[in-house]
Structure 1
Amino acid sequence: MGASRLYLSPPDCGDLEAKAVEGAVRSGWVAPLGPEVDAFESEIARFSGRTHAVALSSGTAALHLGLNALHVGAGQDVVVPTLTFGATAFAVTYTGASPVFLDVEPTSWNLDPNLLAAFLSERAAAGTLPRAVITVDVFGRTCDYDRIMPICEEYGVPVLADSAEALGAMHGSRPAGSFGKAAVFSFNGNKIMTTSGGGMLVTDDAELAAKARFWATQSRESFPWYEHEEIGFNYRMSNILAALGRVQLSRLPEMIVRRRSIRDRYADALSGVDGVSVMGDPPWGQGNGWLTTMIFDLALHPDAPRRVREALEARNIESRPIWKPMHLQPVFAGAESLLTGVADRAFKTGLCLPSGSAMCDDDIERVVEGILAELDVR
C-alpha cells in the first residue's frame, strides 16, 4: 500500500469541532444567523483589533461588500497587487470597476510601496486617482503598512485590506486585519482556520458594518413583507459554520505555532542546498505560516519548480506553484498594469509546500526527501 496523500493545506479539525457542530444543529439554529454567528463576529473583531465584524459566506463576498461600502463603481479603478488569488481582482469587477495591477516588493511579495507612490503621484497629477487600493497579505505575510498607509492617506485613497490568508499574522504589534477602512478574512477549507466555507469583513466603522450586514441579507427593509430599495446579496454565514469557526479560532494560536515550526523545519533542512531558499518573515512583522513558500535559483536548478512539483506528486505529495500574477491571466488580458518583474520571477522560481498544522515530523521528512532526491542532493 502506497504512502497516504499529503495535501498542501488541509483543514485541521477534530472532536471539539465535531461537538460544536452537533451542538449547533441540536440547538435548532440551522439556518443562516443565530447566536453562534453573533459570538463568532465578536471574537473575530476582538482577535483582529477591530470593533465590528460581519460574518459572510466567503472571503470573496467580504471583498465585494467592502468595495461596495467604499462606493467603488462602474468606470472607476482599483489598485490590486498582481501577485494574488483571482478573487481579489474578481471582486473589483463585480462592482463594475477595473483592477489596475501593481507589482510587489521582493521581501514579502506584497504590494510595492515605491511603485504605489509613483502610481498615485502620476494619477493625482492627471486627476484620475483610483477609487481604492486593495492590499493583500499574501501567503500569511503582512504588507509594509508603515509605508503604504501614509501614501494612501496623502492622496485620500481608502484601503481595503485583503487579509484572507493572514489571520493571526502580525505587523509589528498590530494584527493582520487591523489596517485600512475595512479588512477581510477567508475561512475556506484550505486556510489556516476554517468554517468549511466562509469569510469575515472587519472594520471600526459602525455604519459600514451595518450597511454590509444589510446588503448581505438581501437588503431587506423593515416591512412585514419583503421590501427592497437596493440590490442585495445572499452572503450571510450559517450558525452551524460559525460554531465550527469558534472552535477553530480558539485553537488558532497553536495552529500558527505549528505552521511556523513546519516552515522553520523546511528552512533548516534545506539550508545547506545552494540555490534553494525558504521565504521567512519580513522585517516589519511575523507571518502566520499559512503556506511555506520556497524559491529556486534556476541557474543552478533549471526548471526546478516544475521538476520538484512533479517529483513530489509522484510520491503522493501535493505542492503548488506560486499564484500566477493577475496581469498574466487571460481573463485580464489588456488590463492596466505597472510592473517591475518581481511577481513574474516569483511565479517562475517559487513553489508552495505542504504546510498543514496536522502534519507530523515524518510528513515533513517525506517532503524534504522528495525535494533533495529530485535536485540530486545527498
Structure 2
Amino acid sequence: MSSRIYLSSPHMGTLERGYVDDAFASNWIAPLGPHVDAFQEEFARCVGTPHALALSSGTAALHLALQLVGVGPGDDVLVSTLTFSASVNPIRYLGACPVFIDSERTSWNMDPALLEEELAMRARLGRLPRAVVVVHLYGQSADLDPLMAACDRYGVPVVEDAAEALGSTYKGRTPGTVGRVGIYSFNGNKILTTSGGGMLVSADGELVQHALKLATQARDTAPHYQHSEVGYNYRMSNVLAAIGRGQLHVLEDRVAARRANHAFYAEAFRDLPGIQFMPEAPWGRHTRWLTTLTIDPEAFGADREAVRVALERENIEARPVWKPMHLQPVFANFERRRGSVAEDLFRHGLCLPSGSNLTRQELERVVEVVRAVPRKQGLRTAG
C-alpha cells in the first residue's frame, strides 16, 4: 500500500532544531524560560497585539479567557455551533451553559444576524449572556464588524477562538486580536505547531497578568507558597516555545503552501459538477488551513461519505466537516438559534489533505481518487 497521506501533518524546518538545541544547552527545560518570553514577544508582534501568554494548549487558553471575562456557574455563553468541541468544553468546565448560533454561508462562521436576534431577545428578557465565543473556522475569519457591533450594543464581551485561523486576516487585522481576549492553538495539525500548546492574547495587560498567575497555580507574591485563588498548571515549556519560535519565522511560507494546495484542488476539480469549495469571504485572507468543500451527491454522483471512504481505502486521510455542537449528545439539551446551515455543511462537507508539506505527487493521488468515485459508484449501482 502507498504511504499514508495525512490531513494536516506537522511541518518542521531547520530553525526549530537550533532553538531546541539552545534550550537543551541552557538546561531550560521546564515551563518558563527565555524561549517562552521570546515566543510571547515575537507572537505578539506577529499578530499585532500588546500582550501574549504562551500556554499548554488552546483549550487552556480558552478556559482562562472565559474565566477572566467573568463566566461562572449558571451563566449563558453564546458560541458558534459549527466548531470543534474544544470551543465549548471550557464553557462547561466553568459550570456555564452554551447557547449555539448557526453559521452563515459566506464564511461558514457565526451568523451576525442570528447573533443580533439572540442578543435582542435576551435583552428583552433580562437574560443577556456573560460572553460570546466567536470561532474562526478552517483558516477564515468570521465577519467581525457586525458581530462586535452587536456585542458592544449590549455590553457583552467577545472571546475569539482563532485556534484554526493564525495567518488569516480581517480587513487588515488579525482575527483573535479584535475582541476582549483571543486564543490560538499550536496543536500538531495546526498551521504553526509546538506539538501541543496555545496562546492567549489581549490588549488588556491586567487581564493577561491575571491569566499568567492563574496558569502558574495562582501563586501569590510571597517567599513561600501561598494561594488566594484556585489556579492551573497551564504554562508552556521552554522546549515547546523554542519550536514555536522557529515555526513563527516560516508562517507566511506555510500559509502560501496551503493556499497553493487549495488552488491545485480547485483547478483539478473545476470541471466536476456538484463540488463547491468553502468560499473566501471578501473581508480578508483565508489561510486554507484545511481545504474544505461540499459535495452535492445528485450532481456529483456520490455523497461525501463515499468520497471519504474511497480516500481512506487508498490510505488517504480526509474528514467530514465538524459535526455541529447542537447535534452532539453531550450538548443536545442546550439552547440554540437555528442550525440548518451548519447541519447542511456537515452533511455534505469534507476536509481534504492540506498540509504545507504535501508533494505534487500526493496531491495528484488525492485528485485521482476523488475523480474516480462517481464512476465506481455507478459501476456498483449497475452491478
TM-score when scaled to structure 2?
0.96
Structure 2 counterpart SS, 1:185: strand
Q: Deviations over 1:314-337 (max 9, x none)?
A: 111000000010000011121111
Residue matched to 1:212: 211
The AA in structure 1 aligned to 2:210 is: K
Q: Are the counterparts in 1 of residues 187 and 194 from structure 2 also a CA contact under 8 Å?
A: yes
Which residue is equivalent to 2:93? Answer: 94
Instruction: Please give the alpha-carbon distance, in whole angstroms, between the structure 1 residues aligned to 2:64 and 2:148.
Output: 21
CA distance in 1, matches of 2:251, 2:375: 37
Q: Are 2:68 and 2:207, in contact at CA under 8 Å, matched by a contact in 1?
A: yes
The alignment status of 1:222 with 2:190, answered yes or no, reads no
Whether the 8 Å CA contact 1:77–1:132 is kept in 2: the answer is: yes
In 1: Cα distance, 2:67 partner to 2:340 partner: 31
Q: Partners of 1:171 and 1:265 in 2: how far apart?
A: 24
Aligned 8 A contact 2:301 2:374 in 1: no
Aligned counterparts of 2:349 and 2:302: Cα–Cα separation in 1? 11
Q: Is the 8 A contact 1:58 1:199 kept in 2?
A: yes
SS in 2 for 1:37: helix
Q: Which residue of 2 aligns with 1:359?
A: 358
Report what 1:114 is aligned to. 113
1:266–1:278 Cα contact (<8 Å) kept = no
Q: Using the TM superposition, give the Cα deviation of residue 147 of structure 1 relative to its aligned residue in structure 2, in angstroms.
A: 1.2
Q: Give the aligned CA root-mean-square deviation in angstroms.
A: 1.1
Post-superposition offset of 1:265:
0.8
1:168-187 alignment, distance < 5 Å? 168-187=167-186
> Match for residue 254 of structure 1?
253
5 Å-filtered alignment, 1:206-355, equals 206-301=205-300, 304-355=303-354
Contact kept? 2:78, 2:133, Cα under 8 Å: yes
Structure 1 residue 191: Cα displacement: 0.3
Query: 1:26 Cα deviation (Å)?
Result: 1.2
Deviation at 1:301, TM superposition (A): 3.6
- The equivalent residue for 1:53 is 52
Task: Give the deviation of 1:302 after TM superposition.
Answer: 5.8
The residue that corresponds to 1:11 in the other structure is 10
> How many angstroms apart in 2 are the aligned matches of 1:142 and 1:189?
21
- 8 Å CA contact retained: 1:158, 1:181: yes
Letter in 2 for 1:89: V
3-state SS of 1:299 partner: helix
- Does residue 167 (structure 1) correspond to residue 166 (structure 2)? The answer is yes
User: What is the CA distance between 1:175 and its match in structure 2?
Assistant: 1.3
- 2: CA distance, partners of 1:123 / 1:158: 15
Does structure 1 retain, via aligned residues, the 8 Å contact 2:302–2:374?
A: no
Q: 241-250 vs 296-305, which deviates more?
A: 296-305
What is the SS of the residue equivalent to 1:200?
strand
Identity %: 51
Please tell me the residue identity of whatever aligns with 1:91: P
Give, in whole Å, the separation in 2 of the partners of 1:252 and 1:291: 15
> Which residue of the partner structure matches residue 368 of structure 2?
369
The residue matched to 2:298 in structure 1 has which SS? coil
Deviation for aligned residue 1:300: 2.1
Counterpart amino acid of residue 46 in structure 2: F
Single out whichever of 20-29 and 133-142 deviates more from structure 2: 20-29
Helix, strand or coil at the partner of 2:299 = coil
Equivalent residue pairs, number: 376
What is the CA–CA distance in structure 2 between the aligned matches of 1:289 and 1:236, rounded to whole Å?
29
SS in 2 for 1:316: coil
Distance (whole Å) between structure 2 residues aligned to residue 96 and residue 46 of structure 1? 34
Which letter does structure 1 place at the counterpart of 2:275?
Answer: V
TM-score between the two structures when normalised by the length of structure 1: 0.98
Tell me the equivalent position of 1:32. Answer: 31
Aligned partner of 2:47: which letter? Answer: S
Q: Which residue of 2 aligns with 1:23?
A: 22
- 2:67 maps to amino acid: N
Q: CA deviation at 1:95?
A: 1.1
Contact 1:55 1:201 (8 Å CA) reproduced:
yes
Paired with 2:230 and 2:171, the residues of 1 have a C-alpha distance of 40
In structure 1, the residue corresponding to 2:88 is in which secondary structure? helix
1:25 Cα deviation from its structure 2 partner: 1.2
